[in-house]
Amino acid sequence: MRKNWLYLILLFVLPGFNAPDTAITSWVVMPGSSLAVNGSTNINTFQCEITNYSLPDTLACSRTAARGQVLPMNGRLKLDIQSFDCHNKMMTNDLRKTLKAKTYPHLSIRFISINSFPDFKNPTRIIGVVDIDLAGVTKRFEINYLFTVGSGQMLHLKGDRVINFSDFNLSPPSKLGGIIKAKDELSVEFKLNLKPLG
């Protein structure tokens, strides 16, 4: 009986005994990360970017979960709307105005979960869930992820999702009195350079 109690105490006290159920992997966002928004008007296409995002954000993910359950994630990207560059001054100003940059200066992406842990030996496609906070509205979306491994233990995470201006109660930007008007649909793509912590 005493041996059984001793075993239970060791199980919960000694480090590593219960690690498989609680193991967490963390990464720090490195310089060179970016966010791109691709859209179109009734005349042409456009791309607006935030390049070289390098705030020291940290993403964390559980490596294990109960059968049939997703893997919880924790972490947030906070992007400055004024940093968007559409490579056209008028379009850049229109986009910032459309996204209400003066009232809501940041676009936030909060990571919620992924459906499986990435394979660090091969490119891995998985599905994640994020909350996007834009112009005072928060919406939850599924995101398609591609994880690849670079040199020096660097992990590259690419995520993409089609959203609409109307998802956030916004009207697409227009120019020249509405003669040129952006379509409601946008393709959002972010690329993160991640380095393991510890």
- How sure is the predictor about 2, in pLDDT bands with cuts at 50, 70 and 90? very low
φ, ψ dihedrals at 109, nearest 5° = -120, 115
Task: Provide the pLDDT for residue 188.
Answer: 93
Mean pLDDT of 162-166: 95
Q: Supply the pLDDT for residue 88.
A: 86
Position 63 scores a pLDDT of 82
Mean pLDDT of all residues belonging to the chain: 83
pLDDT of residue 176: 57
pLDDT at 62 over 90: no
- pLDDT greater at residue 9 or residue 70: 70
User: 3 pLDDT exceeds 70?
Assistant: no
Residue 198: the pLDDT is 64
The residue ranges of DSSP E strands in the chain, in sequence order, are 24-40, 45-53, 58-62, 71-74, 76-80, 106-114, 124-134, 137-149, 155-164, 174-175, 180-181, 185-196
3-state DSSP of 139-155: EEEEEEEEEEECCCCCE
Q: Residue type at 99?
A: L
pLDDT band at 55 (very low <50, low <70, confident <90, very high): confident
More confident site: 189 or 18: 189
Tokens 């294990």 sit at which residue? 64
Q: How confident is the model at residue 68 (pLDDT cuts 50, 70, 90)?
A: low
Q: Which is more confidently placed, 70 or 80?
A: 80
| Over residues 16-28, mean pLDDT | 62
Sign of the Cα pseudo-torsion (50, 100, 42, 188, in order): positive
pLDDT at res. 7: 35
Rounded-to-integer distance, Cα 49 and Cα 80, Å: 11
Assess whether pLDDT exceeds 80 at residue 11.
no
23-196: CATH class: mainly beta
Q: Is 61 a residue whose pLDDT tops 50?
A: yes
The whole-number pLDDT of residue 151 equals 78
Q: Please compute Rg for the chain using Cα positions.
A: 21
In the chain, where the domains are located: 23-196
pTM of the model: 0.81
